[in-house]
Amino acid sequence: MAALFSFRKAPKATPSTSGPVNLPPTTSVRIGMGQLLVEGGEPLRNLERAARMIGEAAQQGCELILLPETLDFAWTHPSALTEAQPIPGPFSDLLCEQASKHKIYVCAGLTERLNGRNYNAAILINPEGEIIVKYHKINLLGVELPFYAVGQTLNVVDTPLGKIGVNICADNYLDGLSIGHTLARMGAEFIISPSSWTVDYSLTEEDDPYREKWVNPFSILARLYNVVVVGTTSVGYIVGGPYEGKKSVGCSLAVDASGVRAQGTFNEFAGDLVVADLPRPIRPEQGTAIGEMLQRKGYQFDKLL
């Protein structure tokens, strides 16, 4: 079977002008959560599946598609230590081409080789095929540290869909929730998170451990700040690396201040697209007004525990 695409460099990004951006009003955003089968050490096959998922999302009218964490080599797969690519580079260029071809925002997790180190990275690409956010995961698990360096920056970008912040997977653990707090304080209306949620191979949907692990922290951010938090996860069995034998089970999640808006199937075979129409939050508070709003909601800044 012929490949869906060849390695071609994406169009060079046009420098953006400085100054305020006049954005047309948007009342809701259709987001596709692409639960992608990610095979360890198989970047070309994974990227072909990503390309098909991007096209499917565009056909279903999605304005943005969110894809999983490290979808090139898979999370903590040893091959990434020697084969990871730069960003921009051949893998990110392929995603940029697909975003431009289908006129859709694409957020995806990749492994980035930069200055002799690897990073667990996420990029947000606009419909012109330009990378407008690049982020490196900060709240790395202990087993990740031999594979990726710790990120050092956060960013929120203005788009016609709203203000979008990007983080990755365990950045939304309760112990890493300060990252989401910061994105919200920076004005994010949508926090989108490529993820790879894994469990022991014996766990089934009836044993779902994710309600407290994900719905709870997503809901804390959503209710405190009136933001939308979206995480998309991979599916499939994990081969190679410290989590070999476990499985990624989907269960992608979109939460706003009203509760869970959309959720993917909890299953290692659930490689599908979950489409959610998510109202754009209204966030009038900025700067210290956000702190005042949090105090009115009972948030305590002066408590150590």
- State the angle between helix axes of 90-102 and 43-59 in degrees (0 to 180), rounded to the nearest 10: 10
Q: What is the pLDDT of residues 18-38, one digit of tens each?
A: 344 444 456 999 999 999 999
Could you give the percent of the chain with pLDDT greater than 90? 80
Q: What is the pLDDT of residues 246-300, one digit of tens each?
A: 998 888 999 999 999 999 988 888 899 999 999 999 999 999 999 999 999 999 8
Q: What is the pLDDT of residue 76?
A: 97
* Region 297-305 average pLDDT: 83
Q: What is the pLDDT of residue 18?
A: 37
| Between 240 and 200, residue with greater pLDDT | 240
Asked whether residue 13 carries a pLDDT value surpassing 50, the answer given is: no
Hey, which residues does 135 pair with through a beta bridge?
A: 122
Report the chain's C-alpha Rg in angstroms. Answer: 18
18 phi, psi to nearest 5 deg: -85, 170
Q: What is the pLDDT of residue 305?
A: 56
The pair of structure tokens assigned to 111 is 């492994």
**pTM value?**
0.90
Q: What is the pLDDT of residue 270?
A: 87
Q: What is the pLDDT of residue 204?
A: 66
Instruction: Give the number of other Cβ atoms within 10 Å of residue 269's Cβ.
Output: 14
Asked whether residue 152 carries a pLDDT value surpassing 60, the answer given is: yes
* Region 81-106 average pLDDT: 98
Asked whether residue 151 carries a pLDDT value surpassing 70, the answer given is: yes
* Region 38-59 average pLDDT: 98
Asked whether residue 118 carries a pLDDT value surpassing 90, the answer given is: yes
| Between 273 and 211, residue with greater pLDDT | 273
Contacts of 297 (CB under 8 A, 6+ apart): 224
* Region 74-87 average pLDDT: 97
**Average pLDDT score, the chain:** 90
Asked whether residue 130 carries a pLDDT value surpassing 80, the answer given is: yes
Q: How far apart are CA 188 and CA 213, in angstroms?
A: 22
Instruction: Give the number of other Cβ atoms within 10 Å of residue 125's Cβ.
Output: 28
Q: How far apart are CA 73 and CA 79, in angstroms?
A: 7
CB 183 within 8 A of CB 156: yes
Hey, which residues does 230 pair with through a beta bridge?
A: 192, 254
* Region 45-64 average pLDDT: 98
Q: What is the pLDDT of residues 171-186, one digit of tens each?
A: 999 999 999 999 999 9
Q: What is the pLDDT of residue 291?
A: 96
* Region 46-63 average pLDDT: 98
Q: What is the pLDDT of residue 11?
A: 40
Asked whether residue 188 carries a pLDDT value surpassing 50, the answer given is: yes
